[in-house]
Amino acid sequence: MLKKINQATMFRLSLVVALFVVNALNAQTAEKSSIITTNNKSASKSLNHIAFIADGNRRWAKSKGLSPLEGHRVGFLETAPLLLKKSWEAGIHTVTLWGFSTGNWNRGKEEIDNLMILFEQLINKMLPVAKEIGVKIVHLGRKNKIPQTLLDTINKAEQETANFSNYIFNFGIDYSGRDDICRAFKKIAATGINMEDVTEKIISDHIDTAHQPYQNPDLMIRTSGELRLSGFMAWESTYSELYFPEEYFPALNEESLKKAIAVFNERVRTFSK
């Protein structure tokens, strides 16, 4: 009889332990799920603007035995549209792409001419997408040196997407951060504002990204392993997180973007606090 009681007691104890373990595991799983959900919400809120310095098109082409033009074509007509679309799909509001700096006019005429054609093709390629999902297209840079056909394409895209606000595509052509700041001060001077009264906000309201909801990049990516920004978004990049992947720009893909976002999510941003 005692043996039967002991067996029954042991069974009940085993059942209690099993239920305790199951409940503990369920609680742990729920806690992990909560953490993942919270982190995802946090990431989606903090990564609102990603900026790309498209570097390495020519070196990528050389490594493949291709012409420099083919490197630029793949970079701007295949990689760039993919990164733009995938960034917006990931909930990133603003994507900035630097295609041509004020210093790039020192390159050969044939390369420059081909680049201007590619930029026009990229804008025309992205315009239907912009209209479909509500992307505002904004040109960053000077407008007085670029070819008229490209300028017409830029103006058309900016006009036709001016009222969109779901996303932003900033395209830097004949752009540099220092030139942007210089032009901003000229605009400020033209308003008659006393230079003693100029504030950071006034400057921010006169650079090319003026009045954008996420003016300052959260994450800046320069491809090809070069560890510098070369003046890109000099005013806006004070608190930007920097990421320098070894891949050339044409080699980037969706997985590259996911990796960059994962790296960003691991950063702790204090904003001087």
* Residues taking part in catalysis: 55, 104
Bridge partners of residue 139, in order along the sequence:
171
What are phi and psi for residue 28, nearest 5 degrees? -65, -40
Q: How many residues does the chain have?
A: 273
Give the dihedral of Cα atoms 204, 206, 208, 209; nearest 10 deg. Answer: 40
**Would you say 47 and 240 are in contact if contact means Cβ atoms under 8 Å apart?**
no
Number of other CB atoms surrounding residue 270 within 10 Å: 6
Q: Is 51 helix (H, G, I), strand (E, B) or coil?
A: strand
- Strand ranges, E, within the chain: 49-53, 94-101, 135-140, 167-175, 219-222, 241-243
Q: Is 137 helix (H, G, I), strand (E, B) or coil?
A: strand
